[in-house]
Structure formats: C-alpha cells, structure tokens
Amino acid sequence: MTGSSPAIIAVALDAPLRRLFDYCVPADWAAQVQPGLRVWVPFGRRRIVGVVMEIRRHSDVPTAKLRYAQSLIDAEPALDAGLLDLLRWAADYYRHPLGEVIAAALPGPLRQGAPLDVVETCWRLTPMGRSQALTELPTRAKRMRAAIEALLDGADHMDEALLAAGITRESLRKLRERGYVEDVTRTQLAAASTAGEVHGGPSLNDAQATAVERIRGSLGTFATWLLHGVTGSGKTEVYLHAIASVLERGEQALVLVPEIGLTPQLIARFRERFDAPIVILHSGLSDGERATAWREARSGAARIVIGTRSAIFAPLARPGLIVVDEEHDSSLKQQDGFRYSARDLAIVRAQRAQIPVILGSATPSLESLNRAHHQTGSLLALPHRAADAKPPRLALIDLRAHAAAQGIATPTLMAMQRHLDAGRQVLLFLNRRGYAPVLFCPQCGWSAHCKRCDANLTVHRNSIALLCHHCGVQQTVATACPTCAAEVKPVGQGTERIEETVGRIFPNSPLARIDRDSMRRKGELEATLAQVDRNEIRILVGTQMLTKGHHFPNVTLVVVLNADQGLFSTDFRASERLAQTIVQVAGRAGRAEQPGEVLIQTEYPEHPLLTLLLRGGYEAFAEGALKEREKAGWPPFSRIALLRAEATQAAEPLQFLRAASAVAREHAVRGVSLWGPAPAPMERRAGRHRAQLLLQAATHGPLQRLLSRWIPLLETLPEARKVRWSIDVDPSEMF
C-alpha cells in the first residue's frame, strides 16, 4: 500500500526502561485503538501485555524494523484518560520508568492479560422471598432454607461470599425458579443501594458541622482541605458525612489510610454507617481479591474505596472526593522502587479531576500546615475532643534528677500505681523492640556489632538471639566477651525488658506487649485489643504500633519512656516525627470522660522542642519548627531530591556520585545546588556501602528541569554499572 502509513502505537511495558516502545497496528483493528487499552505485543521472544499510551504517525524506529502488535485485549480503556494522565505525571515527577508506574496501577491478573470485566452475579431476595420463603419452604429443604437465611442476614451478598459459606449454586438456582431470589450484577446492586445516607452516629458538633458544610460546598470543584483535629475530635465523623454527600451525587469516594490504620474497626465503622458497597485495597490481598476490588472501583459498583497508599492509583468511574487520613504518616510514602507520596499525588489527582481532597490529621505535616497558611480558608479545625472529653495533661520527667530503675523513673512508677489503683489502664510507649539495644562488655568495652551493618545488634530475649534490626541477621547470644571472656551485659531498654521490669513491679496487673515481634500472627493484635477493651489488660507496653488509630477509652496514663531518640538527629525531619509521635501517643489517653495524664521521660527537659510542645501543643511546635526550616532553607521552603547509590565495594558509590555530580555541573540549571556526595549516616547496611548526593532548589521548576536532563545521562555513566542507584524526589527520610 502507498500513501497511508500504518498506525503506530507507543506502548508502556513493565520494564525498568525510561521509554515507550513503538509497534505497528494491524489494519483490522487500527480504527479501535486508543490510549489506555491493553494490547498483546511481541517482546524479544515473548508475548507480553502493554498499555497504549499514544497513537503516532511516525516512529523514530525505521518502519522496516517495527514489529506488529498482536491483538487488542480490551474493548474500552483499562485506564481512563484521567488516570493515565495522573500516572504520566507521576512517572515524570518522580523520574520513574513509565512502564513500571503503569504496571503499579494494574492488579497482577490484569498485567497478565486477564479480562477487564468479569460480570459478577450477586443473589438478592425478591420481596416474595423476603416475606414468604421461610414459611413456604418445607423444613426438609435444608439447603434452600440455609440460603434464604444467609440472604436475610446481610444486605448485599456476593456470589462468592455465599458459596464460601457453604451455600450451593444449585440451591440458589432452585430458589430463583420459585421466585424467591433473583440474580443481579454487582453494578445493578450498587445502583439500587440507598447510598447517600449515614446511619446512626452522634449528631455533629458545631466545628464538625462547619467543616462538613464547607467540604460539601466544594464538591465538584478542586479544593485542598486540611482537617486538623486533635485525636478523638471526630475527624472520621466529618469524613463520613462528607462522603454521604458524595454518594448522594452519584459519585465515589476514595479514602487513603496508613498501613496500620486499615484496621477491622475502621472498616467495620464504614460498613456499619453506609449501605453502599465498599471495597478495600491493601497489600495483604491475594491477586484475585485485588483484581475484584479494582474492577468494582473501575466499574463504579464500589461506591467507597478504602485503601493504603497504592490505592491512590485505583480506577474510579466517577471520582467525587479523596480523603487522606493521617496525612502525616510515613507509610503514605513509598520508600523503594517507584518512590512516590500518595498524599501529594492525592492533591494532584484531585486537581485534575476537579474534586476536593481532605487531608486529615491530629499532627499535620509541616508541608500541609504551610500550604494551609498560604491558602486562606483551607484549614478546618476541630479544636476540641468530641463528646466533651478533656485533653490530656502533659508533663516532663527529668531523667537526670530521678534515678530510672530499668528505664522507668520513680515519679513514673508512682503515677502508674495511682492510675492502676483507680482501676484505670496505663500505656507505656517505647519505640524500640527487643530486650536491649546493646550487648556490652563492662570489662573491655566490646559490644556486639552487626558484621554487615554499621549498627549494634539488638538483644532479643524471647528468641534468645542477637538480631540486627537493619538487615535481619541473627546470631546466638554469647554470655562471655569474645575479646576478654568477661561476662557481657545487655544495656538499655527495649519493649521486652520493660515488659519484664513492669511485670516484676506490678505482678498483679495483667500486661500486654504490642510490637512487631509479639503480634506476628494474624488476628493476634485484634484479640489483644479486645482484651484491652474488656479491661482484662491493665498495662500496655508497645511501640509505634500503639500510637495509631486505636481507641483506649480506659487508658488514663500514657508514658513516653524515652523522648530523646528523636531530639538529636541528622535528619531535618526527625523532630517533626518525634513531636507527631508524642502527640499521637498522648492522644490515646483519656478519650472518654476521664482526663488523661501524659509523662514524657527525657534527659533534656529544657530542649526547645519539648518546651514548645508542652507549653503550646503541636501548633506551637509546628510554628517553631517551620521557622527553623525556613531559616535553614529546608522543605517546604525549598525542594529537594536525593540521589542514592550503594555497592559492596566502599569506593564505588562515591565514585558514581562524583561522576553524577560532574555531569550535573556540566548541565547546570540556575538555582539548583548540589550537596555532597557524602556517605549515608549509616554508611554500611546489609553488607553494602551507601552514599548520597543532595539536590536542592527554591522551587521545583528548576529542580525538575535538571532532573529531566540529568537522569537519562546517569544511565549511560560507566560508573553506574557498578552500583545500585535510585532517585528520590521529595524524600521523606534523609538516608
């Protein structure tokens, strides 16, 4: 044929290459092709799934060398224009290969070519079935009766759930013949649900009502709301009511929560309050479950999508609102591979979709607070606890003035006794699992070190082992020093040791330890929390796991055993994280009518951060911290990116980064400064040496201009072949 050249498609493939791949389209389906469709394409000797990104007239590849795409998988785009646009933006901004970004947005089965739509049948009672089936069916029709009972039990039953419960397809079909049940698709079921209503719940107080009203007024337009409410102030109630309005409009709501926040309690609360179909997206799902949830979000059958950070890429037929709960939480940032911030992408997605986004937190990130200062009227404050609960009283315990027996100072012990005597519960927070952080020889000064990391090994009593918390290496505990044979001693406190000490001092108060080691088995955390609820546990010892999401109404004393870990760090975000942790853990106390007491043990009671926090709460701290950031030129008053490199040979990361730095200087962009390269604060980890180069600019424009030129050049550096390197745009951790 002459004249009309074949259509060419640029396809994203799941490969770590920063480019698209061109293919010719066979004439018989050229007319149907459009961006977002999945296609089968040849790749080397294999056949793989690609996603069409662009339709082109010309390719830089000579036509003779272009291969033909094999077939279309989808009749309509798997990823709609809005989502494609977001993914493209994210790949560009975070400088990650587009093919991998696209792959991250597709559940496994769809990446392997599974069909886009699977019509799922649900069974529902007809009015006749609801009122008459059980009276009319003979008693011996056991199976049919069981099916009816199961359907009467729940509002919305999926085929699979019923079958899993032992109901057979056969009995459902028989019931359909008799007119007792009918089958409908998920989508029909969703459309029929009386969605726009929140059931039950307290009536909103003034601050909540104002917040809901303002969010409602912004539906259908882009707005970023910062919902800043102390723990227990009723933020979740605000989300629920805002979501009700979204459902009323026939739209969907996307709710992002931190990993640890996606608890059965939260899900149960949503299910209880809405009739609307809800799907959950998180990393613990099987491929099949994820694909089902993804399909329902995409078709619109799911009206509420709740998920952890990767749910920001969930397809939505009719997006109406995005909620980011605990927006300060570090798990919203992906720390490896495709490094992105789900919170920041939520704002980008909302803007593109012209819908509002709510960022909720008791301890907002300094970024979000700064943004709210600049966008007048975007701050929604819930200054008081709902249900008239009193805020907790904070006090410092000076560890220099009070001898601490095994990590707990005398005034702390006295306070514990007081609260226990009053029939209350006590929570001890320590951000360090294990028995002791150091195994030390008092004779010669030897301590147990990890061979593969620049770190001490942690003593774990329960597993009778020394464990490296950075690389996972395990060693048996020596009782004698390997250099002088003297007896070695565990030094310092971990949660296991606190558990032991407290158990000895308060033998009659049942105690539970909550950390990653003690809560390994599925369901264990829920079971322990239920015991706490029933007041069977009186003392809780735990890590970070305790600081989020859970309600402990009968806990009236919270002790932060060691605040000093975050006070002196090379990471400019460490103090922000410390303040957030203290305020979050303090928020667990006295949620009901009992006012709480919070004791913070420290050797630096005059530290300005602690003083600010104590006198003026998180707001005062944040104001002070923002001033410091501005003076030092750190984010949010600048933009940064971190180029990291690691290798088994000590010199190689620095050599690569020096070469990278030279290239950056050659292609200098005005306004971008380079700092380093320098070894990472923990130089060696898991046997690999690590170093980093920091890029900084006042705004992200120049930084992005430099990155776009620089990254492709890095791939061609000979030094790059000897290291593993990665770029982290807006890093949340500085190592």
| DSSP3 helix / strand / coil % (the chain, rounded to 5) | 35, 25, 40
Site string for ligand ADP, 208-227 (x = CB under 6 A): x-------------------
How many chain residues interact with Zn ion (CB under 5 A)? 15
232 touches which of ligand ADP, Zn ion, none (CB within 5 to 8 A by kind)?
ligand ADP
In the complex, the smallest distance separating the C-beta of residue 455 from Zn ion, rounded to whole angstroms, is: 6
By beta-carbon proximity to Zn ion, the closer residue of 453 and 647 is 453
- Among residue numbers 283 through 322, which ones bind ligand ADP (CB under 6 A)? none
Does residue 466 interact with Zn ion by CB under 5 A? no
- Which of the stretches 51-59, 233-241, 393-401, 554-562 binds ligand ADP when contact is defined by CB under 6 A? 233-241
487 Cβ neighbours under 8 A, 6+ residues apart: 479, 480, 481
In the complex, the smallest distance separating the C-beta of residue 473 from Zn ion, rounded to whole angstroms, is: 5
By beta-carbon proximity to ligand ADP, the closer residue of 166 and 264 is 264
In contact, 535 and 561? CB cutoff 8 Å: no
- Which of the stretches 10-18, 202-210, 312-320, 522-530 binds ligand ADP when contact is defined by CB under 6 A? 202-210
By beta-carbon proximity to ligand ADP, the closer residue of 104 and 592 is 592
CA atoms within 13 A on the CB side of 466: 21
Where are the extended beta strands (E) located within 462-554? 465-467, 474-476, 489-491, 511-514, 539-542
Taking residue 131's Cβ as centre, other Cβ atoms within 10 Å add up to: 12
DSSP 8-class letter at 615? H
Distance (Å, whole) CA 516 – CA 513: 10
Does residue 234 interact with ligand ADP by CB under 6 A? yes
Does residue 394 interact with Zn ion by CB under 5 A? no
Contact pick of 161, 387, 455, 477 for ligand ADP (by CB under 6 A)? 387
Does residue 204 interact with ligand ADP by CB under 6 A? yes
257 touches which of ligand ADP, Zn ion, none (CB within 5 to 8 A by kind)?
none
By beta-carbon proximity to ligand ADP, the closer residue of 156 and 237 is 237
Task: Tell me, letter by letter, the H, E, C secondary structure of 663-728.
Answer: HHHHCCCCCEEEEEEEEEEEEEECCEEEEEEEEEECCHHHHHHHHHHHHHHHCCCHHHHHCEEEEE
Comparing C-alpha atoms, which of 561, 565, 437, 568 is closest to residue 492? 437
By beta-carbon proximity to ligand ADP, the closer residue of 204 and 729 is 204
Amino acid code (one letter) for 387: A
To the nearest 10°, report the CA torsion of 572, 573, 575, 578.
Answer: -150
In the complex, the smallest distance separating the C-beta of residue 235 from ligand ADP, rounded to whole angstroms, is: 3
Secondary structure class of 402 (helix, strand, coil): coil
Contact pick of 232, 277, 307, 605 for ligand ADP (by CB under 6 A)? 232
1 Cβ neighbours under 8 A, 6+ residues apart: none
Distance (Å, whole) CA 582 – CA 263: 21
Does residue 205 interact with ligand ADP by CB under 6 A? yes
Pairing of strands 425-429, 539-542: parallel
In the complex, the smallest distance separating the C-beta of residue 619 from ligand ADP, rounded to whole angstroms, is: 16
- Tokens 């940064």 found at: 640
Secondary structure class of 351 (helix, strand, coil): helix
Contact pick of 218, 233, 245, 412 for ligand ADP (by CB under 6 A)? 233
By beta-carbon proximity to ligand ADP, the closer residue of 208 and 580 is 208
In the complex, the smallest distance separating the C-beta of residue 500 from Zn ion, rounded to whole angstroms, is: 25
231 touches which of ligand ADP, Zn ion, none (CB within 5 to 8 A by kind)?
ligand ADP
Where are the extended beta strands (E) located within 308-443? 319-325, 356-361, 379-382, 393-398, 404-405, 408-409, 425-429, 438-440
563: left (phi over 0), alpha (psi -120 to 50) or beta: alpha
Q: Roughly how many angstroms between the first and final C-alpha of the chain, as a whole number?
A: 58
- Which of the stretches 158-166, 232-240, 339-347, 426-434 binds ligand ADP when contact is defined by CB under 6 A? 232-240
Contact pick of 33, 184, 219, 471 for Zn ion (by CB under 5 A)? 471
- Among residue numbers 480 through 499, which ones bind Zn ion (CB under 5 A)? 481, 483-484, 486
By beta-carbon proximity to ligand ADP, the closer residue of 233 and 252 is 233
To the nearest 10°, report the CA torsion of 86, 88, 90, 92.
Answer: -150
Distance (Å, whole) CA 431 – CA 565: 9
DSSP 8-class letter at 564? G
CA distance readout (Å), 614 to 230, 437, 543, 617: 15, 28, 22, 6
Distance (Å, whole) CA 528 – CA 513: 9
Does residue 457 interact with Zn ion by CB under 5 A? no
Does residue 386 interact with ligand ADP by CB under 6 A? yes
Contact pick of 453, 555, 579, 614 for Zn ion (by CB under 5 A)? 453
In the complex, the smallest distance separating the C-beta of residue 285 from ligand ADP, rounded to whole angstroms, is: 25
Element (H, E) at 239: helix 235-248
- Which of the stretches 144-152, 443-451, 539-547, 633-641 binds Zn ion when contact is defined by CB under 5 A? 443-451
Pairing of strands 67-68, 438-440: unpaired
| Residues found in the chain | 735
- Which of the stretches 120-128, 135-143, 320-328, 437-445 binds Zn ion when contact is defined by CB under 5 A? 437-445
The token pair at 270 is 């949503």
- Which of the stretches 393-401, 417-425, 451-459, 720-728 binds Zn ion when contact is defined by CB under 5 A? 451-459
Contact pick of 268, 395, 405, 444 for Zn ion (by CB under 5 A)? 444
In contact, 588 and 546? CB cutoff 8 Å: yes
CA distance readout (Å), 541 to 207, 250, 412: 34, 45, 14
- Which of the stretches 6-14, 204-212, 292-300, 599-607 binds ligand ADP when contact is defined by CB under 6 A? 204-212
Site string for ligand ADP, 236-255 (x = CB under 6 A): xx------------------
In the complex, the smallest distance separating the C-beta of residue 278 from ligand ADP, rounded to whole angstroms, is: 17
Question: Could you tell me which residues are beta bridge partners of residue 480?
Answer: 487
Contact pick of 38, 96, 157, 235 for ligand ADP (by CB under 6 A)? 235
Contact pick of 335, 410, 443, 708 for Zn ion (by CB under 5 A)? 443
By beta-carbon proximity to ligand ADP, the closer residue of 203 and 716 is 203
Does residue 171 interact with ligand ADP by CB under 6 A? no
Does residue 202 interact with ligand ADP by CB under 6 A? yes
- Tokens 């509420």 found at: 304
- Which of the stretches 203-211, 329-337, 419-427, 571-579 binds ligand ADP when contact is defined by CB under 6 A? 203-211
Strand order in the sheet with 474-476: 458-460, 465-467, 474-476
By beta-carbon proximity to ligand ADP, the closer residue of 208 and 493 is 208
Contact pick of 231, 370, 580, 732 for ligand ADP (by CB under 6 A)? 231
- Among residue numbers 551 through 590, which ones bind ligand ADP (CB under 6 A)? none
Does residue 594 interact with ligand ADP by CB under 6 A? no
In contact, 489 and 442? CB cutoff 8 Å: yes
Does residue 441 interact with Zn ion by CB under 5 A? yes
Residue numbers at the binding site for Zn ion (CB under 5 A): 441, 443-444, 446, 450, 452-453, 468, 470-471, 473, 481, 483-484, 486
Residue numbers at the binding site for ligand ADP (CB under 6 A): 202, 204-205, 208, 229, 231-237, 386-387
